[in-house]
Amino acid sequence: MLVADDDPAILRLVSMILEKEGFSVVGARDGKEAYKALQDDANFTAAVFDVVMPHIQGPELVRYMRTEKRFMKIPVMMMTAEQDPKLSKESFEAGAVVFLPKPFTTVQLQTMLRMLVNKARA
């Protein structure tokens, strides 16, 4: 599972929950690290990206993934603390399957991650 967020606390939280659910996690602190992780390994079950990150934004990463055959099937969840409704629209248009506004509860995160994983296994 690939997780990218420039907020270290969120990155740790999401990674911890995913690891508790039995996933191995590759963490990235920004869009460029996430892009590099994708180049190194195309076998991610799913990905979780922050919308607003340095270097490469979340929607840009998703659009890139949708143009590459080896990444097309990886479902992506987007998260953001921004209150702009255009961001969720842009995320879905880019190809994200789940959108989670921050702040979120652990239960909300777990629910969204289950939806994401079910999508990955479908």
- pLDDT value for 5: 97
Q: What percent of the chain has pLDDT over 90?
A: 77
Task: Return the SS3 of 47.
Answer: strand
Q: Which of 113, 108, 77 is nearest to 92 (CA)?
A: 77
- pLDDT value for 19: 94
Residues with Cβ within 8 Å of 118's Cβ and at least 6 positions away in sequence, in order, are: none
Under the banding of pLDDT at 50, 70 and 90, the label for residue 117 is confident
Contact by Cβ (8 Å): 2, 48: yes
pLDDT tens-digit readout, 43-62: 999 999 999 999 999 999 99
Enumerate domains of the chain plus CATH numbers.
2-121 (3.40.50.2300)
Amino acid present at 39: Q
Number of Cα atoms under 13 Å in the Cβ half of residue 80: 20
Q: Say if residue 33's pLDDT is above 90.
A: yes
